[in-house]
Structure 1
């Protein structure tokens, strides 16, 4: 275990790390224990009682958080013709086709946070699966990032849309805002995304769906939330 810094140690003393809290208490604690000099990101980590190796137990989707995530995301859109123009007018940071794929492949360029593509461009984007996939950047119809309505997709991303999906350990990791939001806005965002995750429960999932739910700040300790009170 790496040695933790003094600020982390002080934060841990301010609450009972072994206890589970309700949402409002947890947000209050995570804000108070966020001691870094920068505006820390608050993240949700939810372990689910599913097996993501099975296609019918995948949990994935996207939601626009009520208060955004405190960061304006850079958007890359793969589109041609009128759809490329539409993307530029809607505020996409980068728009292109084969030349963008080439830039990613040959230069290792990743100066963007979200990739949106029109369906006809997926043959080009598909070749980037090995580099975009591991970074969670591959466009997907379920998350609304493969679409003909590129303007709407860009607008949602800029408004604070977040994607959620299982990792290999069946845990969802997603930002829910910044320390500066305060406990109330963080609770709003948390409740919105947890509602979406609960709604996305696969029909084939058996037993307890929410195994554990933890919120953390970038540099701070985790605060456990009682999953039994979340639905």
Structure 2
């Protein structure tokens, strides 16, 4: 893959053989974000888990203390009093059965997170084939299947992110924007790593965290030392 001049210049700042301390890695990821837009800083964590085994799955959510820098649109499936509660809490869209054809047939996906009350999961289940592959299916572990829709919406709007293993057993998570201060990015990174370390499956034998890489949307990867984890 051929990279542009900006990427090549940025890549020269990073020593590929070095695993940096988190503070230095964050500074480098910020420095190498040279695109014209406010790039997202992402963390990619390669684990020793085997996601094909249910007991080695990692999935959960963490509220980043400084948010993600992104405005998140929340869709809530609810009925009765919970509709008003969700609207009052600032949900972008609230509904029930009537939303199914819109999502299934019209391909409407103008939302980033889906929250559902437990009594609506029968309805939401019909959207499994659409929402599942996009990682949008509500899940009790992530706190998105709940009767406390106010808390769920507030947490998400405040910067709650979900983490889970992909097919290669890697976790990909945004921890903010390149415009954030290094301190804010580091606070977010630490909050994420605390959650990931706590999520270690008890069934796992061998090394849990194999590698951690930080990168901006268009920038080169910066290796982070896994020693302290």
Provide the rounded CA distance (Å) in 1 between the counterparts of 2:182 and 2:32: 12
Structural mapping, 1:1-231, within 5 Å:
2-229=1-228, 231=229
Q: How far, CA to CA, are the matches of 1:7 and 1:188 in structure 2?
A: 28
Structure 1, residues 70-93: CA drift from partner, whole Å, max 9, x if none? 012000000011001100000000
Q: Distance in 2 between matches of 1:22 and 1:148?
A: 41
Give the secondary-structure state (helix, strand or coil) at the position aligned to 1:121: helix
SS of the aligned residue for 1:227 comes to: coil
Q: What are the superposed Cα offsets for residues 202-229 of structure 1, whole Å, 9 maximum, x if unpaired?
A: 1001111000100110000000001112
- The alpha carbon displacement at 1:64 in A equals 0.6
- Greater fraction helix: 1
Report the secondary structure of 1:211's partner residue.
strand
1:101 shift after superposition: 1.5
Unaligned 5+ runs, structure 2: none
C-alpha deviation, 1:106, in angstroms = 1.1
Aligned-partner SS, 2:75: strand
Please state how far the C-alpha of 1:182 moved relative to its aligned partner: 2.1
SS of 2:163 mapped into structure 1: strand
**Counterparts of 2:25 and 2:153 in 1: how far apart (Å)?**
32
Cα deviation for residue 17 of structure 1 reads 1.9
SS at match of 2:108: coil
State the superposition RMSD in angstroms.
Answer: 0.7
SS at match of 2:36: coil
What is the TM-score of this pair, normalised by structure 1? 0.98
1:15, CA displacement in angstroms? 2.3
The CA deviation at 1:130 is: 0.8
Paired residue total: 229
SS at match of 2:187: helix
